[in-house]
Amino acid sequence: MTRLDRRRAWRWGPAVGWATVVVVASLVDPPGAATATTGPFGVLPADKWQHGLGYALLGGLVARSFGRSTLRAALLAVGVVVAVGVGVEVLQSFVPWRTASLLDGTANAVGALVGVGGWQLAAKRSPGRWERS
């Protein structure tokens, strides 16, 4: 493995690792399925906040993995994360103890946009630090 290969693996490792956590957590039978009915500010159910936060982190990690703060890279990162979210919802439709939900998918997509947007802002504020070498 060359030095460049190791650097690429390091870039994608956290994103792939977190995506694995998200997918597994989305498909396993949740212990004690009782969760808080409302999240922060009493606006959305707690699980929608969890979806948004999980996919925001995934969005930031995927955007970082592309290593460029361009519009094209941002759109590609959002597309990848939304595809993961849609894939998880489709898989949940086949799992008896899970339910696919359009609202969950929407929370995933909003989280992806927030995460990628946050990474883009961070990359623009410190140019060169996140650029691919």
Domain extent at residue 73: 46-133
Phi-psi region of 24 (alpha: psi -120 to 50; beta: other; left: phi over 0): alpha
Our count of domains for the chain comes to 1
pLDDT at residue 72, rounded to an integer: 93
Is 27 a residue whose pLDDT tops 60? yes
Residue 15 lies in a domain: no
Domain assignment present for residue 14? The answer is no
* Burial class (CB within 10 angstroms; exposed 0-12, middle 13-18, buried 19+) of 50: middle
CA distances from 14 to 33, 60, 96, 98 (A): 28, 10, 30, 26
* Domain-embedded: residue 83: yes
CA 74 – CA 80 distance, rounded (Å): 10
- Tally of CA atoms within 13 A in the half-sphere of 57 that contains its CB: 14
Has residue 13 been placed in a domain? no
Which 3 state secondary structure label does DSSP give 37? coil
Residue 7 has pLDDT above 90, yes or no: no
pLDDT tens-digit map of 28-48: 987 765 555 555 555 567 788
Give the tens place of pLDDT for each residue, 85-129.
Answer: 999 999 999 999 888 999 999 999 999 999 999 999 998 887 665
Looking at the domain assignment, is residue 5 inside a domain? Answer: no
